[in-house]
Amino acid sequence: MQDNVAIKVSNASKLFKLPHERHTSIKSAVLNFYKRKKTYELQKALKGINLEIKKGEFFGIVGRNGSGKSTLLKLLAEIYSPDTGAIQINGKLTPFIELGVGFNPELTGRENVYLNGALLGFSQKEMEAMYQDIVDFAEIERFMDQKLKNYSSGMQVRLAFSIAIRAQSDILLIDEVLAVGDAAFQRKCFSYFEELKKNKKTVVIVSHDMNAIERFCTRAALISKGNLDFVGSPEQVSKLYKKQNASDIKLSDNTDTIDTGAKITKLSILGSQKNEFTLKEIICLEFNITTEKPIKVAPGINITRDDGQFIVGLTCHAQVKPKITEAGINTVFTISFPARQFIRGTYSVDGVVYDSTDPQPVFYKPSMASFTITEDEQSWGVFNLDCEWKRKD
Amino acid sequence: MQKRYRYAMILLKQLVITDFKLRYQGSVLGYAWSLLRPLLLFVILYLVFVKGLKIGGSIPNFPIYLLLGIVMWNFFSEMTSQSLSSIVSRGDLIRKIRIPRWIIVLSSSISALINLGLNLLVVLVFMLITHVDFMKTGIFFPIILLEIYIFALGVSLFLAAAFVKYRDVEYIWEVITQAFFYLTPIIYPLSVITDQTLQKILLLNPMAQAMQDARSILVTKETITMAEVYGTANARLISLAIVVTFFLVGLVYFKRKAKYFAENI
């Protein structure tokens, strides 16, 4: 392995046997052996991963639940051993992947500090030297002689964190540390990350928090279904991850489709090839609607942001006069609106068709189209206020 | 390599301390139970077997003879049963941290060793009270302790690894321990059994051999040892071979399974 490489994963895969009925008794093991029946399913958690992480990199691993990212982290931490392939580590690795592992609720805070320190490889003496710093950093001085089970979860996390950051390792593996703790704790985490970065430590972090990934990582990887989909800049990975999430929402929502009498055969976005828009552009949607019986067709849309935030729903009732459309006839509707009304992000459009003023739609299909706003105007929230700032001099 | 060793030792120390702190938590007498428990058990057995059933009348210092046997047996059964569940009960550590797995079994074995030390103190006190003559041969006692420790460690490693996958092991081992409590001359002197072939078979159990040897070098020469029954001191080599075999089998099995503990617990 080259000298500047911290972690090298070559063709690593991991299989899990998922028993249908976990045979934790010898009887069932014997019976199953006798019957020669497979009572487990093989789950390929990781399929031939190749990855090289250089020294000093802040590397993010991103993926949806069950994609295999935590399995990969456990392989790196040598908690699991790979079924095929190999993992080479160059440098001292932290043994932790989560905060507060090994905490014992029946021991006092003080005793837990020593126990946890030992897990990090610090002797009693070394822990004594840094004990006060740890307690001060966690801000729980007067609780140290109480049992850990009487601590609030916030206190436990603070204590765990202030021990964990003492680790003298070259390579740190961090799993979802940002998922716990309040805003103040996250700030502490962030400044710790900054310090790690400054000290050129190699860090591998698993997180769902794309902001953190984009902010700290120098490189990132996207994992889905046990495959390494993409390795590249954190921005690209974050974008892909969001896209993946959005498309999965589409799939899962498909069951809600309503289809009684009319149909949007095509809902297309005009004016842009890749459905990407800058703030100055106009977004135009075109509906192709066919009916099975004569009704007064009135289309509508719902717009949802990729994180699930509902933005707006509207119909054409106010602007288009109702008119009966005969069966089998194709009608085209368009709607257009300026892109600057949206915050940067990806949005999906549900197609809806009403029969004139009947509040129940005759047709509904989620996520028929989607568009992306690529710029932002330094605003945040749900929509971009169409406004005008002036200074009166 | 040396770093790994240092890490293991630091961890081992803390795990043993934790074990010890947690053991008698919430009890009023606390650590005193480490001494009280064997003492009270001994009193019961003494009343039942020495005073009640009048076993071992011809053996000098039979109460000490009995006590030593009980202490040694308790060590073995305590160490194996604690080690058996040690890996599973530390599942939280194993799933989340890369620590040498054997450390966990070793830490529960050391907890048992500490208890053995305390119990032997009780034995010593009784020896002083009842004026048992100290024999020069007593200096070999640590070797016997080492033998049963290694034997128990081999069994423990095997059980701890097997228990991860098969939870029946706990109940099976309970029954086996109970059976061997009676198959080992603990509460009865071996002289009760008159058939010499049977004596030979019973002494193949390293615990029986070790116990008889310990009694003969510490308490009274009137103990039937393996060397006597087989007619040669070399017979102990059989015992030694059994101990080494158990240890190696346990170790190899544990090492093979240890890789998969994290996913199987």
Residues of B in contact with A106 (CB under 8 A): 22, 25
CATH at residue A191 = 3.40.50.300
Two tokens, residue B161: 């690894």
Answer whether A2 touches B (CB < 8 Å): no
Predicted local distance difference test score (pLDDT) of residue A66:
83
* CA distance to partner chain A, nearest, from residue B92 (Å): 7
The β-bridge relationship of strands A345-355 and A295-305 is antiparallel
Whether A106 and B25 lie within 8 Å, measured CB to CB: yes
Which of A14, A116, A119 is best to mutate for the B interface (most B CBs within 10 A)?
Answer: A119
> Both ends of chain B: CA-CA distance in Å?
28
ipTM of the complex: 0.83
Q: What angle do CA B77, B89, A175 make, to 5 degrees?
A: 155
User: How would DSSP label each residue in A135-188?
Assistant: HHHHT-GGGTTSBGGGS-HHHHHHHHHHHHTT---SEEEEESGGGSS-HHHHHH
pTM above 0.80, yes or no: no
Record: contact B166-A96, CB cut-off 8 A: no
Encoding tokens for residue A364? 């509904």
**Residue B153's pLDDT is what?**
97
Residues A268 and A238 in one domain: no
Q: Are B214 and B68 in contact (CB under 8 A)?
A: yes
Per CB-CB distance under 8 Å, the chain A contacts of B98 are 77-79, 93, 95
What is the span of the domain harbouring residue B214? 2-264
What's the CATH code of the domain at A310? Answer: 2.70.50.60
* A336 within a domain of the structure (yes/no): yes
* A95 and chain B in contact, CB less than 8 A: yes
For residue B204, CA distances in Å to B146, B207, B216, B230, B239 come to 18, 8, 17, 11, 6
| Residue after which a domain boundary falls, among A200, A222, A248 | A248
Q: Does residue A175 lie within any of the structural domains?
A: yes
Q: What range does the domain containing A39 cover?
A: 5-248
User: pLDDT by residue (tens digit) across A306-340?
Assistant: 777 788 888 888 888 888 888 888 889 999 999 88
Minimal Cβ distance to A26: which of B22, B93, B166? B166
Chain B hits for A77, CB-CB cut-off 8 Å, are: 97-98
pLDDT of B197 reads 92
Q: pLDDT 10s digit of each residue in chain B, 265 long?
A: 677 888 899 999 999 988 888 887 777 777 788 788 878 887 887 788 778 887 766 788 888 888 899 999 999 999 999 999 999 999 888 988 888 899 999 999 999 999 899 889 888 988 888 888 888 888 999 999 999 999 999 999 999 999 998 999 999 999 999 999 999 999 888 988 889 999 999 999 999 999 999 999 999 888 889 998 998 888 889 999 999 999 999 999 999 999 889 888 8
A339 contact partners, CB below 8 Å, separation of at least 6? A277, A278, A279, A280, A281, A282, A283, A373
Interface subset of B 93-122, CB within 8 angstroms of A: 93-99
Q: Are B154 and B247 in contact (CB under 8 A)?
A: yes
Which residue, A169, A166, A161, A163, is CA-closest to A94? A169
Strands A282-291, A262-270: parallel, antiparallel or unpaired by DSSP?
Answer: antiparallel
Residues A19 and A158 in one domain: yes
Cβ proximity of A245 and A304 under 8 Å: no
The DSSP output letter for A93 is B
- Name the B residues in 166-195 with CB < 8 Å from any A CB: 166-169, 172
pLDDT of the residue at A181:
66
What's the structural domain count of chain B? 1
In a domain, A378, yes or no: no
The predicted pLDDT at position A252 comes to 46
Tell me how close the Cα of A119 comes to any Cα of chain B, in angstroms.
Answer: 6
Written as one letter, the residue type at A262 is A
Query: Is residue A391 a part of any domain in this protein?
Result: no
Picking from B22, B92, B172, the nearest residue to A106 by CB comes out as B22
- Residue range A69-89: mean pLDDT, rounded: 90
Q: Token pair for residue A174? A: 């961090």
For helices A153-164 and A124-138, the axis angle rounded to 10 degrees is: 130
A24 with B167: Cβ contact below 8 A: yes
A220 and A357 in a single domain? The answer is no
Structure tokens at A99: 């905060």
Cβ–Cβ gap B92/A102 under 8 Å: yes
Do residues A236 and A268 both lie within one domain?
no
Kindly give the pairing relationship between strand A58-63 and strand A219-224: parallel
Task: Identify the residue with better confidence: A211 or A196.
Answer: A196
In a domain, A107, yes or no: yes
Collect all residues with Cβ–Cβ distance below 8 Å to A205 and sequence separation of at least 6: A58, A59, A60, A61, A173, A174, A175, A177, A212, A213, A216, A217
Highest mean pLDDT among A20-34, A176-190, A343-357: A343-357
Using DSSP bridges, classify how beta strands A276-277 and A361-373 pair: parallel, antiparallel or unpaired: parallel
The verdict on B145 touching A (C-beta cutoff 8 Å) is no
In angstroms, the separation between the Cα of residue A43 and the nearest Cα of chain B is 13
pLDDT in tens, A240-293: 887 777 666 554 455 567 777 788 888 888 876 778 888 888 899 999 998 888
Place of tokens 């009135």: A298
Give the span between the Cα atoms of A25 and A19, in whole angstroms: 13
Domain check: are A182 and A283 in the same one? Answer: no
Among A182, A149, A152, A161, CA closest to A99: A161
Contact (Cβ atoms closer than 8 angstroms) between residue A50 and residue A75: no
* Contacts of residue B218, Cβ cutoff 8 Å, sequence gap at least 6: B68, B127, B132, B135, B137, B138, B141
- Smallest Cβ–Cβ distance between A96 and the set B7, B18, B97 belongs to B97
Across the interface, whether the CB atoms of B11 and A24 are under 8 A apart is answered no
Q: Does residue A384 lie in a domain region?
A: no
Q: Which helix (H) or strand (E) holds A269?
A: strand A262-270
Across all residues in chain A, what is the average pLDDT?
Answer: 84
Asked if A177 contacts A162 with a C-beta cutoff of 8 angstroms, the reply is no
**For an interface test with A, which of B4, B10, B13 has the most A Cβ atoms less than 10 Å from its Cβ?**
B10
**Strand pairing category for A58-63 and A202-206:** parallel
